[in-house]
Amino acid sequence: MGDRVLELRVHGVSNTPPDQLLGLRPEPAGAGPQPALVAGGKVTGFYRSTSAGPDDPITVEAYSWGQLTSGARTARDVERALWTVLLPFTLANVALHARPDIPPDPDTERWAGRSGIAAWLIRLFCLSLTATLAITLTGVGVDLIAWQCVDQDCLGRVPGPWEFLGRGWWRADAHALTVGLLLPLAVLVVLGMVAWRTYQYEAEMPAEPRPARRPTDAGPEVAPPADPPPPANPLQDPTFWCGEGQLRRAAVLHLCTGAAVAASVPIAAVLVMDPPRGARAVVAWPTVAALAAVVGTAVVAIGRPYLTRRRGDTPLGRWSTAVGALLGLGLAGTFVLLVLPDGPAGRPLAQLRPPVGCTAAPDTPGCLVDRSLPGYDTAVAWLATYQVLLLIAIGAVSRSGRRALLAPVLGAALLPLGVGWIEGALPGVPAAPRGLSIWMLAVPAIAVAATGLLLPRTRGDADQQPPGPHTDLAWGGRGPALIAGAGWTMAIAYGAGLLHWVAERLNDDAGPERVMPPLAVFWAGLAFAVAVAALVGTGIRAGLLFRRLRRQEYAELTGPGTDHSPHDRRRCRDVSRYRALHRLVGEHAVRLVGCYATVAVVLAALCCAAALSRSRPVPGSAVGWQAVIHTVADVGDMMLGWLPVVVAGVGLLVYRNDTVRRSVGVVWDVGTFWPRAAHPLAPPSYAERAVPELQTRVAGILALAEHDPRRMDGVILSGHSQGTVICASMLLQLPARWRRRIWFFSYGCQLTRLYGRVFPAYFGPDRLRVLAGALTWPDGCVAWTNFWRPTDPLGWQVTAGEREVPVVDPEALHPSGGEVADPPIRNHSGYPEAVEFQRERAMVARLLRRGVPSPRRGVG
């Protein structure tokens, strides 16, 4: 039973079926070999061919993990498609792992260092995204429905029997707001339940393999293993893929903060317009203190290392318990205060509502006036503005360290002072000049903050190894801000689209607009329309660049002074197209994304400045440039309203269409690969199950007894595309005694030009050399072979000390051996069928059967 080697294949984002992974060809009536489950279950499983025998020198096994993520084709497709709506949380969570200076040992991370400050700022930004969700849903339930929608006709447009909100006791004072507040609270509860359930579904802890023995056999005493060396890569942290306790603590903090923000919207309106006196004050001020304590405690707690450290299954702790108790007191006080009658100290809130009868008589005084909930527009504008400033701070600190914080902090401090100066709220300060608007100060304040992004980059510990061609740091070290900013853009788009869509449904199509969304929605629609135009321009730029690269590749393939037939020229055009795509993605995609991000930053700054100015352009009946602005904003708002539906539809196509899955699935699988260490409400990480499960399988096979018929002398770990990232993460977790009997095959590999540039702390040049060192045998042989094709748009060289094997694609321009069809251009697929792969596998199998492998040199 000896001299056996196992090749364990791990697929990528396309969720290659087990039969294709095993190389089984379909036969009529299914008479041929079939994949058989040998370990695992229906969700994730290990398969071998039914024709595999115990005497095969190389046994091929396939690990199928695609049903955990975007490659799945199951009955839960629709449910998983809805996860795409939470893409903003996913991107914000990914930003935490894009920091360029994460220490290898998480216990050595200092809060005051560049990585520690950036981590706290990112977690604070994630907390603000939860607040964005809460304040958006509060705007729907409290402002649009419970406050502005007071006519029976308007309330009849809301699904359900909500007409009672416009009658009797519910119509008086702020009583209806208690019902509207239930919407954001209910959604937060559902999100919390989903986050908890999906963690239980996805997570898996690796088990230490133990040799099977009879109960009566006590066996020899085994000495405890020596202390492992300090980690040189964060992926070597044994609790990296086990953050159940951290997830629970963070989920409590986020959900409580969201609920506190939702409750603060109606409470603020009550306190500002009708200051409480007497018994109402006894309820109001302790409620405000409790809600403020919830938010303040969460802001402090997410920066505490002992609360955010991933340590497996740990209890919630005193912080989470205290936040939950404070939130309970705050919500109880909120509902009590809202059902109490208005006091005599100020202007009753009921007088600020739109008058009844606007549907039948739109000309009634006050019907066409913006009567949104007092303070809600201002809260939305200030939250979005400070999120932009927070993103600037994240990018500045990630690039240049603590010194870069001065500019964002200065901009954040000057902005409220300037607004207070314009509004005359600063005592002892001369009045602002007439005609000076808030946007005239908001734009310079954001520009001052953005100067922190232009400081020289500070080189960290992970920058010792010089990068290879096109493997430098993405976006100059500003990657965390760019990724988190993409999440913020989608969150704002979702929120503005939802508010606009609900307002449109509540208004009568034939009559004038009576239910008005916040002013920020108008500017968000305008900015979104311009952003879509800029995206189209970026696509045109990429198309022109691709055309130029294709001409270059075609000229190189044909060569000067050679005579090619029309068939040869057609084949060269086909090959040059894939080669050009390979270069476009590997050499230019990061720069194109950075150029578009620059445009997005300018649009975001202008949109926030316009929202802070609280000036709405004249209605759409105007002429000239104002009519153009209204038309563009209306188109943008319409697109925003359908954006969540479109994104969910694309997410559904990811599971149904191969082309969409291979293009969009790459982005989705990169996002959901990382554990939920920053935002607990993001979609679950499939790697928290795939990596430990693969580790348990490999170590268990290698730990079998010598005479066990299932024993293997070695394992060829064969990873394709995203599978290479899973395999690399597992190898860094695997104990050294098992790695000495493993050879790593990577193909279609994105470890350098994608993961290495965006996530340098894990896959940068120095950190990839840690992986190569972990795979180095005692005789100096690096047990790692990387296959790549110049026609593969997602596969490149690694250059970390491993063996590089280029694969010819296509094998020839003409048919040969009696075949009539041209050899296919395989680009990103079909590596195991290549001649180079088969040759390398045979040589590696011979090495793994040796007790002490001999070194191999050279590059194939």
Sign of CA dihedral 471, 476, 480, 484: negative
Q: Which residue in the block uniquely carries the two structure tokens 């708002």? A: 637
pLDDT of 217 reads: 43
pLDDT of 621 reads: 53
Q: What's the token pair of residue 11?
A: 């697929």
Return all residues near 142 (Cβ < 8 A) that are at least 6 apart. Answer: 177, 180, 181, 183, 265, 266, 373, 376
| Long-range contacts at 649-653 (CB < 8 A, ≥ 24 apart) | 649/81, 650/84, 651/70, 651/80, 651/81, 651/82, 651/83, 651/84, 652/77, 652/78, 652/81
Measured distance CA(48)–CA(38) in Å, rounded: 7
Q: Which residue in the block uniquely carries the two structure tokens 């050679």? A: 562
Alpha helices of 657-754 — where are they, by DSSP H?
A: 658-673, 687-702, 722-733, 736-739
Distances (CA, A) of 240 to 208, 235, 450, 691, 733: 16, 7, 34, 10, 9
Return all residues near 331 (Cβ < 8 A) that are at least 6 apart. Answer: 185, 259, 263
Q: Which residues does the chain have with pLDDT short of 70?
A: 1-2, 28-30, 69-82, 197-228, 306-316, 343-351, 354-370, 460-467, 508-513, 561, 616-624, 648, 651-666, 851-860
Distances (CA, A) of 236 to 199, 625, 734, 803: 22, 58, 9, 23
Nearest CA-CA partner of 142 in 518, 512, 466 = 518
Q: Which residue in the block uniquely carries the two structure tokens 């191999």? A: 856
pLDDT of 369 reads: 65
The predicted model scores a pTM of: 0.91
At position 156, the amino acid (one-letter code) is G
Return all residues near 536 (Cβ < 8 A) that are at least 6 apart. Answer: none
Q: Is the peptide bond before 230 cis (omega within 30 degrees of 0)?
A: no
Return phi, psi of residue 346, to 5°: -140, -160
Q: How many Å from the N-terminal Cα to the C-terminal Cα in the chain? A: 32
Q: What is the crossing angle of helices 87-97 and 658-673, to 10°?
A: 50
Return phi, psi of residue 791, to 5°: -105, 5
| Full 3-state SS string of 584-601 | HHHHHHHHHHHHHHHHHH
Nearest CA-CA partner of 122 in 482, 480, 492, 486 = 480
Q: What's the token pair of residue 561?
A: 């002074």
Find the length of the chain: 860
Span 356-400, pLDDT tens digits:
666 666 666 666 666 788 889 999 999 999 999 999 999 999 999
Judge whether 95 and 398 are in contact, CB under 8 Å.
no
CA 668, chain centre distance (Å): 8
Measured distance CA(571)–CA(741) in Å, rounded: 43
Measured distance CA(795)–CA(585) in Å, rounded: 10
Span 249-302, pLDDT tens digits:
888 999 999 999 999 999 998 888 778 887 888 999 999 999 999 999 999 988
| Long-range contacts at 216-220 (CB < 8 A, ≥ 24 apart) | none
Q: What's the token pair of residue 309?
A: 């450290």
Strand 58-64 relative to strand 742-747: parallel, antiparallel, unpaired?
unpaired
pLDDT of 505 reads: 85
pLDDT of 220 reads: 43
At position 745, the amino acid (one-letter code) is F
Measured distance CA(514)–CA(148) in Å, rounded: 8
Measured distance CA(684)–CA(670) in Å, rounded: 12
Q: What's the token pair of residue 209?
A: 């393999």
**58 beta partners:** 5
| Full 3-state SS string of 220-282 | CCCCCCCCCCCCCCHHHCCCCCCCHHHHHHHHHHHHHHHHHHHHHHHHHHHHHHCCCCCHHHH
**788 beta partners:** 806
CA 334, chain centre distance (Å): 34
Measured distance CA(751)–CA(33) in Å, rounded: 34
Residues 371, 518, 643, 664: what is their CA dihedral angle, to the nearest 10 degrees?
-160
**40 beta partners:** 45
Return all residues near 800 (Cβ < 8 A) that are at least 6 apart. Answer: 751, 752, 765, 768, 769, 771, 772, 784
Strand order in the sheet with 5-10: 35-40, 45-49, 58-64, 5-10, 714-720, 742-747, 784-788, 803-806
Return phi, psi of residue 443, to 5°: -65, -50
Alpha helices of 507-624 — where are they, by DSSP H?
A: 519-558, 566-583, 589-613
Judge whether 758 and 98 are in contact, CB under 8 Å.
yes
Q: Which residue in the block uniquely carries the two structure tokens 């040796």? A: 850
SS3 content of the chain, % helix, strand, coil (to 5): 60, 5, 35
Span 94-152, pLDDT tens digits:
999 999 989 888 888 888 888 899 999 999 999 999 999 999 999 999 999 988 887 77
